[in-house]
Amino acid sequence: MKLVILGGGFGGLRLARKLSNKPGFDITLIDKFNFHQFQPLFYQVATAGLDASNISFPLRKVFHNSKNIRFRMAMVTQILAAHNKIVTNIGEFDYDALVIATGADTNFFGNQNMADHALPMKNTLEALQLRYKLLQNFETAINTKDEQTIQQLMNIVVVGGGPTGVELSGAIADMKKYVLPKDYPELDFTKMKIYLLEGSDKLLRNMSAKSSDESKKYLEKMGVTVLTNTLLKDYDGEKITLQNGDTIITKMVIWAAGIKGNVPEGIDKSLIAGGNRIKTDRQCKVMDSTNIFAIGDVAYMEEPAWPYGHPQVAPVAMQMADLMANNLRRIEMKSNKDALEEFVYNDKGNMATVGRNLAVVDMPKPKLHFNGFPAWMIWMGLHLMLILGVKNRFFVFSNWLYNYLTYDQNLRLIFKDVYTKRK
């Protein structure tokens, strides 16, 4: 079977590894980056807690011992389903089966001003750009005389109260308390304001009410102004305007409020569900297709327990990849297609870290809730296990240990060429 996998994220990479060196498969893995990115820790790269290389792993290195997998770094421009072919910027690829695992990107919901001025964080480069802008603002502030401009440079607004928004807000609050006053003694950090805006009535809305309440309490104790039931209307690079007419002056807005699937060209528009996700059946097969599949954040599948689609999180992508590996082996061996498995998501729980020694964890079976230091240790242990590569795990753990003992991060570097590209 000539199998093409689009995307080297949690789903695409896991599927390729599951089928590595399995007889009967000739696999091409395509991604626009030549490395796997550990997205749950982007916020630590953005706040100088980890280096980008600590959470990235070369895709070619993963398959050093694979005899049936080739990697190509390319941008997919179109799927030609009628011809079993995909078109990329480096050429065309034929396939017998195609798995779309292209993940998701930032959704600005059509607000062009937000797209122009706010900072997203959906890949390693964007996390680095966020770090440079954060630090550059303080460098600019110490050479600024106008008080309002200084306040604009020091104010930070995070939009979106999901795990990313909560974790970013907490990490920046820790920087404000432990690091920034020592780096910039000329600035009065009692005037620095960190705002977290959430459009619904609770933070972490996919978690329990207890986790939502505790995360809000932790953030407020750390000095973050949490505004729920608050919608952002506009941002011009100088101030944000809320739906109720209130304004906040700031030169830094971090957008963590929504994502949309990366759907390649060539997918029938009628098969696109809300959130720009591709409709699939319970076997991950794209509707009205015989040999095209979609998994992970880009896939929209309804099952009885999830009538509006699954959460766009790594465990869903990895479990779909496991199902796809088993089903593709059955198809390759020409087993009874009626025996193909249907996907059932095993929700093992949700977690979010808020700050130093602070996190929340919900487990559904058995129904358990953890908070504070025990939850923080669970969060760290799980993320360490999921990171690819022994070296990466070692460096992440070393950085975490160093940060914990010294109350400091050592990666506050501004690379002008990268920063100015975003600017």
The number of residues in the chain equals 423
pLDDT tens-digit map of 116-158: 999 999 999 999 999 999 999 999 999 999 999 999 999 999 9
What is the end-to-end Cα distance of the chain in Å, rounded? 46
Tokens of 158: 């995070």
Please give the Cα distance from 361 to 5 (Å, whole number).
33
Average of pLDDT values for 297-315? 95
Q: Do residues 151 and 235 both lie within one domain?
A: yes
Q: Which residues fall within 8 angstroms of residue 261, CB to CB, at 6 or more apart? A: 102, 103, 104, 105, 275, 276, 277, 278, 297, 298, 299, 300
Q: Do residues 371 and 398 both lie within one domain?
A: yes
Q: What is the chain's Cα-based Rg?
A: 22
Please give the Cα distance from 182 to 175 (Å, whole number).
10
Query: What helix, strand, coil percent values describe the chain, rounded to 5?
Result: 40, 25, 40
The answer, yes or no, to whether residue 422 has pLDDT greater than 70, is no
pLDDT at 415: 76
Q: Do residues 136 and 249 both lie within one domain?
A: yes
Average of pLDDT values for 320-325? 97
pLDDT at 272: 96
pLDDT at 388: 85
Residue range of the domain that includes 215 = 112-257+357-422
Whether 54 is in a domain gets the answer no
Please give the Cα distance from 343 to 299 (Å, whole number).
12
Strand pairing report for 69-73 and 26-31: parallel
- Is residue 183 a contact partner of residue 177, using CB atoms and an 8 Å limit? no
> Please, what's the b/e burial string for 91-110 (b: 16 or more CB within 10 A of its CB; e: otherwise)?
eebebebbbbbbbbbbbbee
- Is residue 5 a contact partner of residue 18, using CB atoms and an 8 Å limit? no
Q: Do residues 149 and 227 both lie within one domain?
A: yes
pLDDT at 334: 77
- Is residue 253 a contact partner of residue 157, using CB atoms and an 8 Å limit? yes
The number of distinct structural domains making up the chain is 2
Question: End of a domain among 306, 339, 372?
Answer: 339
Residue among 10, 83, 23 nearest 328 (CA): 23
Whether 68 is in a domain gets the answer no
Tokens of 244: 């109720």
Q: Do residues 128 and 176 both lie within one domain?
A: yes
- Is residue 351 a contact partner of residue 44, using CB atoms and an 8 Å limit? no
Q: Do residues 140 and 268 both lie within one domain?
A: no
Please give the Cα distance from 134 to 119 (Å, whole number).
10
For residue 407, name the pLDDT band (cuts at 50, 70, 90).
confident
Please give the Cα distance from 71 to 90 (Å, whole number).
13
Question: Tell me, what amino acid is at 146?
Answer: D
Q: Do residues 220 and 317 both lie within one domain?
A: no
Average of pLDDT values for 316-341? 88
Whether 42 is in a domain gets the answer no
Q: Do residues 250 and 387 both lie within one domain?
A: yes
pLDDT tens-digit map of 334-365: 766 567 899 999 999 999 999 999 999 999 98
What CATH code is carried by the domain that includes residue 387? 3.50.50.100
Q: Do residues 198 and 83 both lie within one domain?
A: no
Whether 344 is in a domain gets the answer no
What CATH code is carried by the domain that includes residue 321? 3.50.50.60
Whether 43 is in a domain gets the answer no
Whether 7 is in a domain gets the answer yes
Q: Do residues 284 and 224 both lie within one domain?
A: no
Question: End of a domain among 339, 374, 393?
Answer: 339
Q: Do residues 147 and 208 both lie within one domain?
A: yes
Tokens of 387: 């990171």
Q: Do residues 158 and 213 both lie within one domain?
A: yes
Phi, psi at 111, each rounded to 5°:
-85, 100
- DSSP symbols for 343-411: -------EEEEEETTEEEEEETTTTEEEEHHHHHHHHHHHHHHHSSSHHHHHHHHHHHHHHHHHS--S-
Q: How many helices (H) and strands (E) does the chain have?
A: 13, 25
pLDDT tens-digit map of 155-187: 999 999 999 999 999 999 999 999 999 999 999
Beta strands in 232-380 (DSSP E): 232-235, 239-242, 247-249, 253-255, 259-261, 272-273, 277-279, 292-294, 299-300, 350-355, 358-363, 368-371
pLDDT tens-digit map of 48-91: 999 999 999 999 999 999 999 999 999 999 999 999 999 999 99
Whether 37 is in a domain gets the answer no
Whether 326 is in a domain gets the answer yes
Q: What is the pTM of this model?
A: 0.91
